[in-house]
Amino acid sequence: MKNKLFVQRFIAAITLSLVMCTNAPVVSASNQPQTQAERISHVYNTGNPTLTDIWVDAVNGNDSNNGATPATAFRTLTAAWNSIPTTNPLSQGRRINLQPGTYTESMIPNYWEDRYGTFDAPIFIRGNGSSRGDVVLQGTVNMYNVHYAYFENLSIVFNGDNFHCELCDHILLRNMVMNAGAQQAQETIKINQSQYIYIENSDISGAYDNAIDFVAVQYGHILNNRIHNAGDWCAYAKGGSAYLRVEANIIYDCGTGGFTAGQGTGFQFMSPPWIQYEAYDIKVVNNVIHDTEGAGLGVNGGYDILMAYNTMYRVGSRDHVIEVVFGMRSCDGQPGDPGRERCQQYLNQGGWGTTVVDNGSNAVNIPNRNVFIYNNIVYNPAGYQSLWQHFAIYDSRANPAGTNAPNPARTDTNLNIRGNVIWNGGAGMPLGIEGNSDACIASNPTCNETQLRADNAINTVEPLLVNPSAGDFHINGAWASSINTYAIPDFVWDIGSVPAGNNSNAIPVDFNGIARVSTNPPGAFYGSGASTIFSDISADYWAWPWIERLYNAGITGGCNSSPLMYCPEASVTRAQMAIFILRGMHGSAYVPPTATGAVFGDVPAGAFAADWIEQLAAEGVTAGCGGGNYCPDASITRAQMAIFLLRGEHGSTYTPPPATGTVFSDVPLGSFADAWIEQLADEGVTSGCGGGNYCPNANVTRAEMAVFLVRVFGLP
């Protein structure tokens, strides 16, 4: 149904996009504003747009209302969506606030079509509960030709496809649950012929094919999600998908495999100029992939594909653990079907494909080129192993004449597999290339049997992980110190028919955001589960990753040097806060001017943190606690902290949007710092203290402060 809908509407959409080009601002990945957090962790930056609020309340609303306030909320999401103009790019953004409750299929638009947000005027669809489970949509979100739409903090629970988008631009799915039941969706998330797609911090499950299916998607990421319970691949990006980062996800319980770059595509469903390889510039790093019947990772027709520092556990029981094989290309359907004419058009433009009807054996073989598989862990414990071999790397294949595709097509051109630890079956488990005629044979300088065994630990070192059966995949013990991992070379973009990708293969942090420095163990976790920086912080402490990031960034040296301690439960004083904020703003090497002792009556020159306190005042972040004083020894509350952080992030003149009084139950409208607290939540820095509350009068602990500082200032 989805590809048919695309075919029927393709020409109309292209016509509309040409009309819009004269009006719509062009905002590319390179010219969007970026925060430090985005540069380091790749989180999508929504900016700071001015938004008109639209309220929806499934329980108390009425579609005869105007939706302008919580008291005059619409009842249905359909009414809210229909209130957004359809003709031109928006000059004023919209924020649809969904009050807690269940929104049935009849309350959701049948089609979400033709809305044109911009970076400065986007469309937010936001669950207004304390957690993403408080707002539930019981129906499909089926979008077409929508720009800059951001979904946040809600659940789609529906026994069928949850989210589908065609010809979309700048779509964000953040902090979502997307549950299609017991594999009752074909795809839980399906994105076709779209650009700038970002999926973050979400739980995605329940497809009999793929939990995430990208076809012809360029630019974006899949970051920090749980992707699971699918009959085919958990996720793939194919059909000319390009410039995607897949990082820090937990991928599990799928059939054909975990994640693959490329696969097979109907030629007419691709988007020029990405009409040769199945996938370009896909970086799959720092993921945990476990309990897949097929390969944990695969490349099926990819160019410049990086798969590095992933941890795989219990993968490949029905075949192999890693595959580098062909993508496939056909011209789907029957002669005369709408859209098939594009197969010939794309051939005329130099694409690799065919115009003939697929008979099951005449598809075009799409090769691989520049595939780097570095420093991963594959651990199949005793009693679990791949069925046949470690790798699937196919021999070359002939392609039919007139397809433009390389002939013969190869899977192993500049294929590099190095620094991986593979423990899978017994010593006799084949690599999978021993019987090959021309793939990864002795004459291939980057991939051959001698090289594979020399550059990887294959059934020579058994990994030990902390508790993988309970979900803890950290390295346990010192075994990783014997593994020779390799620096990953950058790519060289040597095709000119499509825009160049990101050649850098730097992976600066691990799954938890801990900086990768000095010796680098394999797998998704740089830090060992059994060893931490501070003697009073264990690896299972809730804020452990944030505290170590704060230390690695040079913002704190702890509360005691011998032994090194952090004192996570101690309250933060206002004096300490001054140091934290200024180092977050200016970096660990920053030194403020010498204090005069004349700014605050209770901060004489030479007092602890006097230099920092006076500089914080000079930069307009604080005016003190009243009466000409600063109260340096007083503990700082969570409400006060919100003001400090946001002024430190945005500058002394920053004023947050007015509060609604509906974000936290203990922060009503008009309470102290209400707007600052709600803005801190809106930026994703905090979700409160639990139970729908923020606890504004509670003192901030050093553990909490580590989380706040890392998130606000994007510390590595």
Q: Where are the alpha helices (DSSP H) in 160-240?
A: none
- Lowest mean pLDDT: which of 37-46, 89-98, 104-113, 260-269? 37-46
Assessment of whether the complete model's pTM goes beyond 0.95 = no
Q: What is the b/e burial string over 541-577, where b = at least 16 CB atoms within 10 angstroms of the residue's CB? A: bebbbbbbbbbbbebbebeeeeebebebebbbbbbbb
- With 80 as the cut, is the pLDDT of residue 491 above it? yes
Q: What percent of the chain has pLDDT over 70?
A: 93
* Cβ contact 256:233 at 8 Å: yes
- With 90 as the cut, is the pLDDT of residue 25 above it? no
Provide the pLDDT for residue 552: 83
Domain spans, the chain? 259-531, 546-713
Nearest by Cα to 302 from 252, 362, 254, 237:
237
- Lowest mean pLDDT: which of 37-51, 207-221, 243-257? 37-51
- With 90 as the cut, is the pLDDT of residue 635 above it? yes
**pLDDT for 293-352, tens place per residue?**
999 999 999 999 999 999 999 999 999 999 999 999 999 999 999 999 999 999 999 999
Please spell the DSSP secondary structure of 393-426, one letter per residue: EPPPB---TTS-S-SSB-S-EEEEEES-EEE-S-
* Cβ contact 353:395 at 8 Å: no
**pLDDT for 415-446, tens place per residue?**
999 999 999 998 899 999 999 999 999 999 99
At 12, is the pLDDT very low, low, confident or very high (cuts 50, 70, 90)? very low
- With 50 as the cut, is the pLDDT of residue 291 above it? yes
* Cβ contact 414:369 at 8 Å: yes
Q: What percent of the chain has pLDDT over 90?
A: 73
Would strands 465-467 and 472-475 be described as parallel, antiparallel, or unpaired? antiparallel
Query: Average pLDDT of the chain?
Result: 90
First CA to last CA distance, the chain: 44
**pLDDT for 542-587, tens place per residue?**
787 788 888 888 888 888 888 899 999 999 999 998 998 898 888 8
* Cβ contact 243:502 at 8 Å: yes
At 263, is the pLDDT very low, low, confident or very high (cuts 50, 70, 90)? very high
- With 60 as the cut, is the pLDDT of residue 36 above it? no
Q: Which amino acid is at 556?
A: T
Identify each DSSP E strand in 301-362 by its residue range: 302-308, 311-315, 322-325, 327-330
Nearest by Cα to 154 from 196, 198, 207, 203:
203
- Pull the structure tokens for residue 630: 């600063």
Maximum CA pair distance of the chain?
Answer: 86
CA distance to 185, 401, 529, 584, per residue, from 290 (Å): 22, 41, 18, 37
- With 90 as the cut, is the pLDDT of residue 229 above it? yes
At 10, is the pLDDT very low, low, confident or very high (cuts 50, 70, 90)? very low
Q: Where are the alpha helices (DSSP H) in 194-236?
A: none
Helix 574-586 and helix 638-650, axial crossing angle in degrees, nearest 10: 20
Provide the pLDDT for residue 526: 81
At 528, is the pLDDT very low, low, confident or very high (cuts 50, 70, 90)? low
**pLDDT for 497-506, tens place per residue?**
899 999 999 9
- With 60 as the cut, is the pLDDT of residue 31 above it? no
Nearest by Cα to 664 from 94, 102, 128, 51:
128
- With 70 as the cut, is the pLDDT of residue 665 above it? yes
Within 8 A by CB and 6+ apart from 711, the residues are 37, 684, 685
- With 80 as the cut, is the pLDDT of residue 27 above it? no
At 358, is the pLDDT very low, low, confident or very high (cuts 50, 70, 90)? confident
Distance CA 660, CA 127 (A): 14
- With 90 as the cut, is the pLDDT of residue 597 above it? yes
Provide the pLDDT for residue 311: 98
CA distance to 28, 64, 90, 715, per residue, from 33 (Å): 10, 39, 19, 18
- Pull the structure tokens for residue 489: 């070379």
Of these ranges, 129-133, 213-217, 524-528, 650-654, the one predicted with the greatest mean pLDDT is 213-217
CA distance to 162, 292, 372, 475, 578, per residue, from 251 (Å): 18, 9, 20, 18, 41
Helix 702-713 and helix 544-552, axial crossing angle in degrees, nearest 10: 60
